[in-house]
Structure 1
Amino acid sequence: MQSHRNPTRRNRNIGTAKQGHGEANQLVIPDQLNRPYWLSRVGDCRVEEHTIGGWMIRFVIEANALGCVHPSTVPDVLRVLEALPQSDWAGLRTIVFRQPTRKQLILRPAWGRLLYDTTVAKANGETLAVGPVICLDAVQVDKVMVWSTSLDPDLSQELERLRSDGHDVQRSGRKFSISINAASARNTQLYRTLLHEIGHWFDWLSKVEEPSAKGGDRDALERAYFARPKSEREAFAHRYADTQRAILETRGIIPFDQS
């Protein structure tokens, strides 16, 4: 029986992603020692130590590169921490002002994040801190972020938060252009991101640290904490940040000029 297949006809998938074309050239952030990129060792940096209410806080400040700046300063962060209940951030002893790599800026730009348990070390292996860490990333100011207009509810809310922080948000066709400047970046990172990450830590204290200190099974508590939907954990941190920001604004503590 004669086959109807024409061997000279080109497979429509040849040279496309369906057959793996371009996989070897994909821009990815390499892991170091099988750790996520945000746990990689810090580069050229300086270390400062400050005391708040008898608690010593260590700041690790990486040198800037790639046109980035640290929107917030150490005095800025100290002023916010001093205004918050110390019980909300008990156990947090390290703040890292990170300098992202070029690939991280392209693929995973972030204002900051909380690491529940990590080791911060220099390239030569010198350990700078161990335990929970809040990272605040350097950003490229005078940069335009482009978002699609097809946003889910969470991203729509984030867009409104960015607008309220002072970023210039413009719509053109099916894209949003978000222009960042030094002042708007500071508003986002200092008055929202920092409070948001402390909100995550306060959540962790309430659901893991405090119950385990009273005799609870720590492993089970940790599993239960991370088993919660990410949306639930993010919603808690957003509520905490919104509440504390409103309180600090009412008390006239924020906003304040950069130190």
Structure 2
Amino acid sequence: MYNPVRRNRNIGTENQGFGQNNRLQISTPYGTLKSFYERIEKYQKEVRIINDHEFLFIEEETRENCHHTCTFDDLESIIKQIPKEDYGDLKFIILRQPKRKEEILSPV
């Protein structure tokens, strides 16, 4: 039910429209020069040798009720079928889940 007495108290003051122009951006903590996709927290790593080439698999912890769609074993079976010339000097394979704000701004 509409009540004309309860109106916005900021109308006509310098607080009118406060928060309308805030930019949605990924925050960067002070003291670090790494970008948001370079900061990996709570991870586990595993070294595997596939086709005489060493790969370092890194898996970042996911949010609750989420999981990665493929495992290290799945990736290993795919890489085994790729010719060595095609992946060249590739060494790191990182499975990470973007934060919610990262998904909005920069979907992958």
TM-score w.r.t. the length of structure 1 is 0.32
Aligned match of 2:4: none
Corresponding residue for 2:104? 106
In the aligned structure 1, how far is the partner of 2:69 from the partner of 2:106? 18
Alignment partner of 2:37: what SS? helix
- 2:24 maps to which of 24, 27, 40: 27
Matched, 1:79 2:77: yes
Number of residue pairs matched by the alignment: 92
- 1:104-144 residue CA offsets vs partner (Å, 9 max, x unmatched): 1333231xxxxxxxxxxxxxxxxxxxxxxxxxxxxxxxxxx
1:33-182 matches, within 5 Å, as 33-40=32-39, 42-110=40-108
Q: Which amino acid aligns with 1:38?
A: Y
Distance 2:57 2:74 in 1: 12
The Cα offsets for residues 75-115 of structure 1, whole Å up to 9 and x where unpaired, read as 111111110111111110110111222211333231xxxxx
More strand, by proportion = 1
Distance 2:45 2:56 in 1: 7
Contact 1:58 1:95 in 2 (8 A): yes
**Cα distance 1:96–1:106, how it changes in 2: closer, same or farther (>3 A)?**
same
The separation in 1 between residues aligned to 2:28 and 2:74, in whole angstroms, is: 32
CA distance in 1, matches of 2:105, 2:21: 16
Q: Secondary structure at the match of 2:25?
A: coil
When Rg is computed on C-alpha atoms for both structures, the one with the higher figure is 2
Distance 1:65 1:21 in 2: 29
- 5+ residue gaps, structure 2: 1-11
Matches of 1:97 and 1:50, distance apart in 2: 15
For 2:63 and 2:69, the matched residues in 1 are separated by 14
1:34-69 residue CA offsets vs partner (Å, 9 max, x unmatched)? 4432122x1111111110121111101111115422
| Higher RCO, 1 vs 2 (CA within 8 Å, ≥6 residues apart) | 2
Q: For the residues of structure 2 that align with 1:68 and 1:108, how far apart are their CA atoms?
A: 19
CA contact (8 A) 1:66 1:102 kept: no
TM-score (normalizing by structure 2): 0.70
CA deviations over 1:121-180 (Å, ceiling 9, x no partner): xxxxxxxxxxxxxxxxxxxxxxxxxxxxxxxxxxxxxxxxxxxxxxxxxxxxxxxxxxxx
Q: What CA RMSD, in Å, does the superposition of the two structures yield over aligned residues?
A: 2.3
| Structure number with higher helix proportion | 1
**CA distance in 2 between partners of 1:35 and 1:62 (Å):** 16
